[in-house]
Chains A and B, each alone.
Chain A
């Protein structure tokens, strides 16, 4: 069975640009969450979507947005990139009590 898949795996952007990250959950999972992991820190919750509706939002600026599609895949968008947005962005699909993470998208902002 395919796990959580994310694309792209690595990308480099410059300050002020916009980025879109994509995630496909495990088949049958209807919930997708996004996390940001800065080097040396634990993952920080950004968004949670369930059945295409936003169920939770972490303490991130409005430059961060997301959506979930009818097939339960999801996109995370970040506008007006800052150097501090450089991080590993993790997508997770979930069952009650457990998150299954993808390998992440490593974003570098120059």
Chain B
């Protein structure tokens, strides 16, 4: 039972353009969402998060949008840079972000940004 789904295994974008990564979830108890980036041979690195009481959170080039009615969130990267090429994971928590470590992850989307 995949409670967090990233239906696009890969995404290819030109440098300078917008990258949009999508994530859907099925568990209505999820109330805190995070995006992680992972390079080969490294652990996932936290990017940005959003609480279910918000519909948008922005941090520099990264913006996360949450649509609770659709159980959908997306990560926008503008402008995309070659260094953004990595695997991006969407993750969810059912404890308002205070779970101290229990997250449910999606399968990941491989982002490739071409120069």
Contact = CB atoms under 8 A, between A and B. Distances in A.
5 shortest interchain CB distances as A-B pairs: A101-B43, A33-B101, A42-B105, A97-B97, A31-B100
Which of the four size classes fits the interface of chain A?
A: 20 to 34
A92 B6 CA distance: 22
Nearest to B34: A98
Given A40-B107, A98-B46, A103 B41 contact: yes
A56 B102 contact: yes
Contact of B49 (A41, A93, A97, A104): A97
Interface of A is mostly: strand
Interface of B: 4, 6, 32, 34, 36, 41-46, 49, 89, 91, 93, 97-108
A97 B47 CA distance: 12
Given A41-B108, A44-B105, A94 B89 contact: no
Interface of A: 4, 31-33, 35, 40-45, 48, 50, 55-56, 90, 92-94, 96-104
